[in-house]
Amino acid sequence: MNKLSWFLQSKYGAIVHWGLYAIPAGFWQGEYAPHGGEWIMKNWRSGIPYADYAALADQFNPENFDADAFVRFLKEDCGFRYLVFTTKHHDGFAMYDSACNDYNIMHTPYGKDVTRALSDACEKYGLTFCLYYSQLQDWADPNGFGNTWDFGPDQDKDFRKYLEEKCKPQLKELLTEYGKIGLIWFDTPYEMDKAQCQELVDFVHQFQPDCLINGRVGYNLGDYRQMGDRGIPLCTYPKPWEVPMTLNDTWGYRSDDDRWKTPEHVIRLLAEVAGKGGNLLLNIGPDAQGALPAESENILRTVGDWMKKNGESIYNTDPMPDFPYRLDTDFGCFTYSRDRKKLYMHIFRYPTVPPHQICVVGLETKVGKAYLLETGEEVMCWQTYETARDEHRLRVRLPYAKAPNALDTVVVIELEEDELRTQTL
Ligand code: JFZ
């Protein structure tokens, strides 16, 4: 069994950015700090002194946080298939019971190991449990990169000491004490050398050989390509890949970031990414109490409702060949299942003008019947070929004046051939 199988079939994961930074939520001493909430320690003025930032630990007490309910929500209401949790972000604070470094959640008024609670809940609800770990940046450690305002220039630091005394011991704790880990999600390798990155790959596999590693371990030594934040390739990328995507504009909770994407936007991103062969890793940034912003919860629930009825068009789909023309300017996009020999037509711009018909140029593969995924109701579908213009046309005619599902109406098109072929210009 290919160790990537679960990842390739999942298509839809959640990344949860949660830590001390949720307390200031983008503001320090009443003053705005730019960019993501999780970067406040570095981005406020010339940096928040470690002693001042670490004092947040004395305030951290999300006593109402319910890991079981949270994970059940992610799996059953939202339709996520894996969870990536920030066990240690760049601020160096560990959200788990780390024996090798006291700067962790157990030394707060809350005093509980949320990483273990999340691990147990993922096991219970069947969500693949994955861990984010910032392997280079650590603003709490004199030899971790990034904190130049307390500890001086990075080039003067002893990164080997950091690797041996914090990074690797913590990775070992996470890989030996929290059950099966689906993947380690490294981040910002920056100027690490290739040998150090390979060393981390080998170290992870020493404890869990089947644990996947993302591309941000560095030098593309991971098991799949990690696109830049919010970076969706223009065309299908045929190898395994994943794109992290914010639901608003930031990762860690900011009290002022209300630029929420609509559920329609998220579904379109999900369909586009799946059609191009990737996984969408959607961000959740709980507040200091571990609660989701109401807007975030509503968006995720609405997308989840759509997934309950249309998940077949996303889960376990395959990268598909590109069409000669953009499809989204006309109706939307396709996703594709090789095993099921099905194309899934995602209609975002419904043809409200009679005869409610969509024409797609460039599909060479012969098709059979077509039907609405949500109801099974057959719809008209036929193909023509114009020799003089060498154009294959597929026409689909819908039986309704308005979209059966305004978020995204999915039409299943059965293929009569094993290979999906499209024309190139
Ligand atoms: C990194 C982190 O710094 C950030 O806080 C968050 O965790 C995000 C998911 O990952 O930010 C990045 C890393 C890489 C790129 C952009 C932002 N990139 O390659 O474009």
- Report the nearest-CA residue for atom 20 of ligand 1: 228
CA distance 285 to 256: 13
- 291/330 same-domain check: no
Taking the centre of ligand 1 as the mean of its atom positions, its distance from the CA of residue 188, in whole angstroms, is: 7
Q: Give the residues surrounding ligand 1 with Cβ less than 6 Å away.
A: 36, 38-39, 187-188, 228-229, 244, 251
Top mutation candidate among 39, 88, 187 for ligand 1, by most atoms within 8 Å of CB: 187
Is 66 within the bounds of a domain?
A: yes
- Report the nearest-CA residue for atom 4 of ligand 1: 251
CATH number at residue 76: 3.20.20.80
- 366/246 same-domain check: no
User: Which residue range forms the structural domain that includes residue 85?
Assistant: 5-313
Top mutation candidate among 188, 226, 254, 282 for ligand 1, by most atoms within 8 Å of CB: 188
Is 424 within the bounds of a domain?
A: no
- 240/376 same-domain check: no
CATH number at residue 347: 2.60.40.1180
Instruction: From the CA of 36, give the closest atom in ligand 1.
Output: 5
- 272/338 same-domain check: no
- Report the nearest-CA residue for atom 5 of ligand 1: 38
- Report the nearest-CA residue for atom 17 of ligand 1: 229
Is 338 within the bounds of a domain?
A: yes
Is 425 within the bounds of a domain?
A: no
- 288/178 same-domain check: yes
27: helix, coil or strand?
A: strand
- 81/197 same-domain check: yes
386-414 residue pLDDT tens: 999 999 999 999 999 999 999 999 999 99
User: Beta strand 128-133 with 183-186: parallel, antiparallel or unpaired?
Assistant: parallel
Taking the centre of ligand 1 as the mean of its atom positions, its distance from the CA of residue 229, in whole angstroms, is: 6
CA distance 236 to 377: 30
> pTM here?
0.97
- 345/292 same-domain check: no
Could you give the number of structural domains in the chain? 2
Is 117 within the bounds of a domain?
A: yes
Closest to 81 in 3D by CA, of 132, 16, 14: 14
- Report the nearest-CA residue for atom 3 of ligand 1: 188
Inter-residue contact 53 to 39 (CB < 8 Å): no
Mean model confidence pLDDT for the chain: 97
Amino acid at 18: W
What pLDDT, on a 0 to 100 scale, did the predictor assign at position 230? 87
List the chain pLDDT tens, one digit each, 425 residues.
Answer: 799 999 999 999 999 999 999 999 999 999 999 999 999 999 999 999 999 999 999 999 999 999 999 999 999 999 999 999 999 999 999 999 999 999 999 999 999 999 999 999 999 999 999 999 999 999 999 999 999 999 999 999 999 999 999 999 999 999 999 999 999 999 999 989 999 999 999 999 999 999 999 999 999 999 999 998 889 999 999 999 999 999 999 999 999 999 999 999 999 999 999 999 999 999 999 999 999 999 999 999 999 999 999 999 999 999 999 999 999 999 999 999 999 999 999 999 999 999 999 999 999 999 999 999 999 999 999 999 999 999 999 999 999 999 999 999 999 999 999 999 999 98
